[in-house]
Chain A
Amino acid sequence: MSYAFEAEGLVKRFGTTTALAGIDLAARRGTVLGVLGPNGAGKTTAVRILATLLRPDEGRATVGGHDVVTDAARVRRLIGLTGQYASVDEDLTGTQNLVLIGRLLDLNRREARARAAELLAWFGLTDAAGRPAKTYSGGMRRRLDLAASLVGRPEVIYLDEPTTGLDPAKREEMWGVVRSLVDDGSTVLLTTQYLDEADALADEISVIDHGRVIAHGTPGELKRIAGSQTIVVRPTDPGRIGAVAEILRASTGADPELPRPGLLTVPVDSDATFTTVVRRLDEAGIGVVELALRLPSLDEVFFTLTGHGAEEPTEVAA
C-alpha cells in the first residue's frame, strides 16, 4: 500500500507498432525507480501514461491510489513532469514561466512570485530570472524545466531522461538535485539510457526493452544477474606483478588479465575466493594500492539481458 505509483499490464499501441506490450512499474514512497532502456524501448510512453497525457489501451495505473484515466484531475495534483516534451515557454523569462505555472496551480500573485523566486534561487537561476528561456544554456534550461515541474510541490516527480545531452559536470549537478528531492520525501521516476545514472540514483531499476520489463531489482541484484564478479589487484611494487599473477592463478584457477600496466583482473565464482587471495597476498608480503571485488557494470547487465548493447536503437517507436 506504500506505493507512490503503480502500473499493471500497460499496453499501448500506435497504429501497428506496439510501444508497450504489458508493462508493470511501481515505486515505494520516497524512493527512486529507474526505468532503464534504449531509445524506443517505451520509456517515454510509460511516463506519458503515468502523467495522464496518454490513455493506455490495456492495463491500469494509479498514482497515490488514484486511477490515471478515471481520476486524472486528482493525479495531476500529485505529479510534476519534466521531460523532452513537457517544456517551458521559450519566449517567457524564467520568472514568468514559473509564475504562470504557480497561477495555474491557484497560488495567488504574491505566492506565485515567492515560489518562483525560491525555486530560481534553489536552482541557481536568480541572475537569469529576467531573461527569456531561449537565451538559457542547455543546463540552465533543464534546471528551469525541472523547477517548473516542482512549483506545485508534487509528491511524485517524473524525470524523463533529465540528463540526456548534458556534459558530465551538469549531470552530476542534476543528480544532486534528484537526491535532494528524494531527501525531501518525493518519489521519483527516472528514465534514462545511462546505466551509470540508474546505478547512481535508483533504489530499484526496471530494465525495459521492446515495451516489456525484462528485469527488475536493485542495482546490486541486477549486477548479480549478469554473473561473474572480478577481482582487481594493483600491487604497490609493479615489479611484483608476476608474483601476484601466480597467486591469482593458484586461487581462482583462471588466467589473470593485464588490462593496464600494473593492474591485474581475474573473474571469480564465489566471494570466498577473494578472502583467499587477500590472505595469500599478505602471506607473500605483497603490498597493494588497489584490491577490490567488482560487480559487473550495468552495461554488461544490459548486454546479458537483451543480447544487444544499451545504445543500440530498436525499431519500435516510443
Chain B
Amino acid sequence: MTTTTRTAAATPSRAGAAHAAGRPFGMARHSLALAGRSLIKTIRTPEQLLDVTLQPIVFVLIFVYLLGGAVAGSQHEYLQFLLPAIMVQTVLFASIATGVSLNTDVEKGVFDRFRSLPIARSAPLVGSVVGDLVRFVVSIVVLLGFGYALGFRIGTDPLSALAACLLTIAFAFAVSWIGVLLGVLMRSPGAVQGTAFLLLFPLTFGTNMMVPTDTLPGWLQWWVGVNPVADVMEAARGLMVGGPVAGPVSRSLLWTVAIIAVFAPLAVRAYRRRA
C-alpha cells in the first residue's frame, strides 16, 4: 500500500478513516453529527426561526381578537379553545423547513459530498429531520409563553400538557418525512415550499381549529372526520385544557406511525435514486 509511506503535509498522521469500519452505531452517530449541523445553521441564522415564532403569534392575535367574541362569546374562552390547535398548526408549518433545506442541500451539492462519504445513505435525511426537532421545540415554547401572557391556562395538569407537546412534535416529525420526500423529488426549494403549503392549508385549516365541528357544513364535517390533523388538534386540546383524550390520542399515534412507515422509506428510496 502506498499509504504507509505517505508522510508529507497532507498526511502527517494516519489516525483517519482506516479504523472506521470497526466502529458500531455508525448510522446513529452520523445522523447525530448531521443533526448538529442543522442546529448550527439554525443558531447561525436565527431569522430562520421568525416564521415559526412570529407567524403563530400573529395568528393568535388575529383570531382571538377578531373572532373570539363572535365564536366563543369571550376572548379568554376562545384562547383556551384555539391555542392547542394553533400549536399543532405552527409545528406542522415548521416541519416544511426540513424539506426546503434538504432541497437546498441537494441543489448546492452539499448532499453529493455526503453521498460520496462512507456513511449510511439515510444518515443525512435522518440528521436533518432530527435537527429540525429543535425548531419545533422553540416554536412551541414561544407560542405557549405568548399564550400564557394573554391569559391561556392549562386546564389539566403539566404532565398532560407536556404529553400534548410531545404528541404534536411526534406527529410533525412524521409529517416532515413528507417534506423530505418533496425535498428530494422537486426541482427547487421554492417549489417544495409552495407544494408543502398547498398540502398543509386544507390539512390545518380544514379542522375544528377555529370553530367547533358541528357549525360546519356536512362535507366539511366529513373532511374533519378523516383529517389526521384534526385528530391531533383534538388530542392536544384534550390533553391541555380538558375534553376527550383516549380516542384522539390513539388515532394521532396511529397516524404518526403510519405516516413514518410509508414516507420515511419512500424518502430514503427517492434519495438513493436521485442522480
Question: Could you tell me which A residues sit within 8 Å of B by CB distance?
Answer: 14, 29-30, 48, 51-54, 73, 76-77, 79, 81, 83-92, 96, 100-101, 103-107, 111, 114-115, 118-119, 122, 132, 148, 150-153, 155, 180-181, 183-186
Contacts and interface: CB of A to CB of B under 8 A. Distances in A.
Contacts of B114: 104
Nearest to B33: A103
B3 A86 contact: no
Nearest to B10: A184
Contact of A96 (B10, B40, B45, B115): B40
Contacts of A83: 109, 112
Among all A-B residue pairs, the 4 with the closest Cβ atoms: A87-B109, A106-B20, A85-B109, A185-B2
9 contacts: A77-B21, A79-B116, A86-B116, A89-B110, A92-B41, A105-B117, A107-B16, A115-B15, A184-B10
Nearest to A79: B116
Interface string B192-232: 00000000000000000000000000000000000000000
Interface in B19-38: 19-21, 23, 26, 29-30, 33-34, 36-37
Max chain B Cβ within 10 angstroms of own Cβ: one of A52, A104, A152: A104
B118 A105 contact: yes
Contacts of A150: 10
A69 to B, nearest CB: 13
Contacts of A184: 6-11
Interface of B: 2-3, 5-17, 19-21, 23, 26, 29-30, 33-34, 36-37, 40-41, 44-45, 105, 108-110, 112-119, 123, 275
Given A52-B116, A86-B112, A118-B12, A132 B5 contact: no
A185 B6 contact: yes
Contact of A88 (B3, B113, B119): B113
A91 B116 contact: no
Contacts of B116: 51-53, 76, 79, 81, 86
A183 to B, nearest CB: 6
A77 B112 contact: no
A77 B2 contact: no
B8 to A, nearest CB: 5
B190 to A, nearest CB: 18
A52 to B, nearest CB: 7
B17 A89 contact: no
Contacts of A52: 115-116
A103 B13 CA distance: 16
Contact of B110 (A84, A88, A106, A185): A88
Contacts of A114: 13
A153 B11 contact: yes
Max chain A Cβ within 10 angstroms of own Cβ: one of B34, B118, B275: B118
A105 B21 CA distance: 10
Contacts of A85: 109, 112
B112 A107 contact: no
